[in-house]
Each structure stands twice: as structure tokens, then as C-alpha cells.
Amino acid sequence: MNSNCKIIVVLSLLFAMVAPGLANAQTSSKLNTPALMEQYRPFADYPEGYQAVGLTDILYRSCPARDLEQPINVYWKAVKAASDWKFFRQRVEKINRFDPQNNAVVKLFLQKTEDKAAMAHLKMRRFAIELNAIAGDCGFSPSSLPYCNELPHFGDYHTNIDKIAQVRSVSGEMRMLAKRIDLGYEQIKASAAALAAAIYYLEAQTELYRAGNSTITDVINAFEQEESTRETFWKAILSYNQDIARYVVWTQAGQTYNPKQLAPLLLLNPRPATVFETTQNNAPNSKSLLDQRPDTYGNSNSGSTPDPTYPADVNPSGAAPQPDTQLQPSDPNINPLPTEPSYTPIIQNDSLRTPKIYQVAYTPSGELTTPNWFDVSVYKPAGAIAVTLKEYLSSFSPMYYQQATNQYWRASAQCQKLAVIITARRRAEEVQQKVFARLSDQGNSAQSSLFLLAMNVWKQTLAAEAIETQKAILKEQFGLNQLLSMAGAYSSQELWPITPFHTESYQVIENVPGLENDLTVKPLAGSINQEFSLMNQTRSALEQASAVVERDAASNSASFKDVITELQTEFYFATAFVNQTAEYNFSIGNYVQRWMYARKSPLSLDDFCQSIVSRMR
């Protein structure tokens, strides 16, 4: 065994009376996407005043001449609202078991949950009314609203983009959407892992509380954490289905509108239309490669419809290359991101009350390394092309400098967010190693186990957020190429901005001839000064947050819950600094553009770049 790597085995008894409950929690740690979707699906029985409808019903009721993405996406939002309504109503039942009438804290949390249930019902109603309005004259019964309870797509989706490109032209947006869909599936799995970990942590805290070894505040915090990770999970599901809807609409352009053939392209297991199917006469489409229902999930026993017969040159099981969710830096001189620790909860509820065992591999370290939050160049993926601001602007005339600069900064901000997330994940690993070693040395097995569970939620949440940011980068890269195409310099490359934001003070020129009475320049100048001040305050807060993390990670008295909260606070300030820096640079660019307008003569490319950034990388 490597001398630098130790295997620590913790016998986490969590008290004998807690073991039965934790045995049940074992199933939660194994929750996967379909199990979670089943758990959070809306109630099957629709409430009074509603009528259950599937997405196919909505497609039959939508006018083909209108934007089909709108009713599809509103339908999914309605499903999510119905799921929220069920979730909070069920949570009310769980909270009532904690005797809220005799505990003010629990009573307030119950009232908060009841309020959220009521708000979810109002959202569900609002989306139902919107769907009726979209349907127009083809709407549903005036005496009832559509109750949307069909599950969205949550399995792997084969876009077959390369096969489609062999028989027809595909746009840059279609290729971008195909990549986002591939990433979206990975995002769903990562967010499902975070949600499963949060459910497991909630059940563990609940059992500890019943055994008298935890507080009601800890349980409520675990409830809130489950809610937060569930929201992230649904966000990934909705984003995935929105991308699928847009992709399908693109592939069906120019074809006869047919809801019967459209639904299988949008759903994993489409529900047939109800009484509405007879209201339209739909001619069948000619089959396209996408019409072969390019989506798969699970096995033949999963309840999904059988796979169709594919063309000879299409491999339905040939999944697209999976993205590297470990996000390894491309620079070999940078240490790779640590792999997940090999801890495995083993819970057995038998007569011997076998303890829970955690095996965690970690490398003992001294001081925490100083995080390098904003270096985007080392995380450039293989195949992407590094491009400076000056190189990008060289394809544009001066009148488009500002528009192109703003798009460059938008892409750069997303790349920096990705660097922040990767750094936060690395930071979490380092902190986990230190705190777990400290808790283990203290013999605090119960706290060690809970700490690992809580840290797993945070790391999985970061993993899901990293994929969401990768999807955002694809969108902004598409925007970079779209502007180049408008300038006659078409590019299909994945451009990776590497020019750093301007983060120093910016000297605003006073009394510029021609700008004395300008209604935009003075407010912009004031914004620049205010945004620089705010950015500096956030940078200082980030430094302080990092110092607190380093202090408490090494402390023998700091609670592991405090350390995790401090990690999240540190991440918040790092992300806020990126957002504020981007806004600061947008304001600088707008000011320079206004100044150029007043001069009535453009700046050279070198002068323009030097006027908005401090380092011409």
C-alpha cells in the first residue's frame, strides 16, 4: 500500500437502537433516477376541478402554426408544480410526527411547509390556466383545468446527430443542443446522486433524533437540504426536457405536424391521447432517423415501450461518448482532481446489530492549499481553441466591437464559474480528508459517519452544477460563433476565452468633449466606481471565508456542520465575485463604446482592447 495513503475503518455504531432505522436508510442511498422520479411523481388522483391530461393531449390541443416549445415547456412546469404540491403535503405529514403543538420550532416549520404546499398549488393552477390559454379555441372543458401528471423524459436520449447530418443539413444550434442533451443526462444522474445522499442524511438524522442523539434543528436542516437538492434535481430534469423539445422541433421543421409521432420523440414512455385524439386529422409523417424514437433507458422490464426496428446503419445502443464529469485539467503540471473516496456504507439489520462500516481512502495533508479560483486556461477541454479578446475582435469592424466584447465576457464568465466549481470540489476533498481524520482520531464514529454523508451531498451538488455550467458554456460558445458568422468569419470551433477580466480600478475620463450632456455616460461612470467597490468587498469576503475554512478544518472543536456551511459560504463569495467582475467589465465596455460614439471616430483594435482590459493575454 502506498505509504501516503491510509485506509481508515470506522465502526460507526450510531447506537444499537438506531440501527434498524439506518437499515431502512440503506435503500435511500441506492436511489437512482427512475426511483426518485417515481417517488416525486405527482399524485395519480387529480384534485376537484381538474382533469388529468398527458403531454400528447396538449400536443393535440396546440396549434401547429404556433411555437410548440411553449406548450411543451409549460406542461413540464405544471408537472413540476404538481410534484411540489405532493412533496410538501407529504412533508406536512412527516413533520406532524414530531409533535409540533408542543414544540414552537417544529410548529413554525410546519407552517412554513404548509405555506409552500399552498404556493405550489397556486403555481399548478396558474400553469393549467396558461395551457388553456395556449390551446385557445381547442382548449379543455371550461368546467375543469388540465392536471398535468405525466413524467418528463429522464433516460438516455440518442440524438443521432451524426446520422441525421448524413441525410440533411444540421445547424450549429442543433449540434449545440445535441451536446447539451448528452451533458443533460449526466447532470440528471449527478443531481439524483446528490438528492439520494440528502434523503439518506435526513433519515439518519431523524433516527438519531428519535434516539435522543440529535436536535430538532439538525432534523429541520436535513429537511431543508433534501428540499434544496430535490429542486436541483427537478431543475436538471426541466432543462433536459426543454433541450429535447427544442431539438425535436428543429428536426421536425418542414414536416407535417403529427402529435401521434411527435410524442414518442419527447417522452420515455408516452401516454396515449384521451378523448382529444379524434379532434384532428393528422397525416402520417415520413419517417426520419429521429422518428425511430432515439431514446433508451433501463431494460425490457422497466415498463417502457419496446425498442423499434432501427435502420441498419443506426446503432440504438451506441450511446454518445460520456463527458468527463471529473473535469480533469488539461495542463499535465496541474494535479488532477482527486477521485471520489472509497467509502461504502454497509448496514445490516440483524440480531447482532452489525455496525455500519466506512472505508475511506485519503492522503493526510498539512495546511490546506490556497485555492486558485479563477484560472480558466488549465481547465480548457480537449478540442477547444483558446482565444484572446483581441484575437476574437479581429474579425469584426469597430462598430461591432462592443457587441462582440459582451459576448466574449459572457462566455468567459461561464468558464470562470466552471473553474470556481472545480476548485470548490478540490477544496471539499481536502477539507474532507482533514476533518475526517480529526474526527476519527477523536474516536467520534457517529460524527464521522454523518460528516461523510453530509459532504457527499455537497460534492454531488457541485458535480451537478459543474455539468449545468458546461451546458451554459456550450450556449455561449454557440453565441461566439454566431456573431462570427454574422461578420462573415464562420467558425464551428469550441472557442475558449482566456483573456482575464479587468479587476483593477478603472480611471474614468472627466469632462470629455461631446459627453457633457450625455444621459448615459455619467450614470455609467458612477456604476463603474460602485461596481469596483462592491467587487473589492466581495474579494475581501472571499479571502476571509477561506481563512475561516482553513482555521476550522484544523480545529479540534469546530463542528463538522459549521465547516460544511463555511465551505458553502466560501463558494458563494467566489461565485459572486465572478458575477460582479463580469458586470464591472460590461459597464467598462459600455462606457468605452459611448465614449467612442461621442468622438465620432473609432478606436483601433489595440487601443480598444487596451482601454477595457489590463492584461492583453
CB 222 within 8 A of CB 149: no
8-state DSSP, 346: B
Q: Where are the domains of the chain?
A: 10-154+196-279, 373-617
Contact yes or no for 195/229 (Cβ under 8 A): yes
| pLDDT reported for residue 461 | 94
Which long-range contacts does 596-604 make (Cβ < 8 Å, 24+ apart)? Answer: 596/398, 598/512, 598/513, 598/514, 598/515, 598/518, 598/521, 599/514, 600/514, 602/398, 602/399, 602/401, 603/398, 603/401
Residue 29's pLDDT is 41
Q: Identify the pLDDT of residue 424.
A: 94
Place of cell 412554513: 112
pTM confidence score: 0.79
The continuous run of DSSP H or E covering 145 comes out as: strand 145-148
The DSSP call for residue 153 is -
Residues 549 and 427 sit within 8 Å (Cβ to Cβ): yes
| Backbone phi, psi, residue 334, to 5° | -90, 135
SS3 state of residue 67: coil
> How many other CB atoms are found less than 10 A from the CB of residue 543?
12
List average pLDDT for each run of 10 residues in the chain, which is 617 residues long: 33 30 39 90 88 85 69 94 96 94 94 96 94 70 82 91 87 92 94 93 91 91 96 96 92 74 80 54 38 35 29 30 30 31 30 33 45 76 90 92 94 94 93 88 80 92 95 95 88 89 80 62 80 93 93 89 95 95 91 75 83 66
Sequence-distant (6+) residues with CB within 8 A of 118 are: none
Distance CA(109)–CA(529), nearest Å, equals 42
* β-pairing verdict for 145-148 and 50-53: parallel
For residue 145, what are the β-bridge partners? 50
What is the DSSP code string of 127-138? Answer: HHHHHHHHHGGG
d(CA 331, CA 386): 13
The pLDDT of residue 349 is 29
pLDDT value for 492 = 82
